[in-house]
Amino acid sequence: MKIAVTGKGGVGKTTFAALLCHIYEAAGTDVIAVDADPDSNLGSTLGISVADIPRPITDLKELIQERTGADPAVPGSVYKLNPEVSDIPDKYCYARGSLKFLLMGTVKAGGKGCVCPESAFMKTLLAHLAIAREQCLVVDMEAGLEHLGRGTTRSMDALVA
């Protein structure tokens, strides 16, 4: 099952996503929990200590540059829309029993330039998790509808709003 949780801010998206993860985990199902909310709290809601929260994917600038071919020094540079991401979940997830946790990250400040390569990388990663992986996937999305416009939830079995 591949589930994305979205909706208005403050309605309990993160709590609901964490409960889904706990239910599947308790049933012995392999779960990948993805915090794709810029106001990330899914890790702590799952009971993961601050010290164990993995580095956000958006902070992996060198990796994103290597995989997408984007040159951050060249505005408007050409980059790959489908970078290789199959190894990311195994290298950058926090693991506890049958649960894996991945933190997507966010834009740190306005005026820092284009984040299109990072967005392409994360979109490809979410699609990989939804299509190529056998684990149950629960994604805590940001409030609002931008992810629908970007198509990041396209491969999900369910969108809970």
pLDDT of the chain, 161 residues: tens digit per residue: 999 999 888 899 999 999 999 999 999 999 999 999 888 999 999 999 999 999 999 888 889 889 999 876 677 778 888 899 999 999 999 999 999 999 998 766 666 666 778 888 888 998 999 999 889 999 999 887 777 777 778 889 999 98
**pTM across the whole model:** 0.90
Apex 19 CA angle, 53 and 43, nearest 5: 10
Give the Å distances, CA to CA, from 27 to 90, 97, 112, 148.
Answer: 22, 12, 44, 30
Phi and psi (nearest 5°) for 34?
Answer: -120, 125
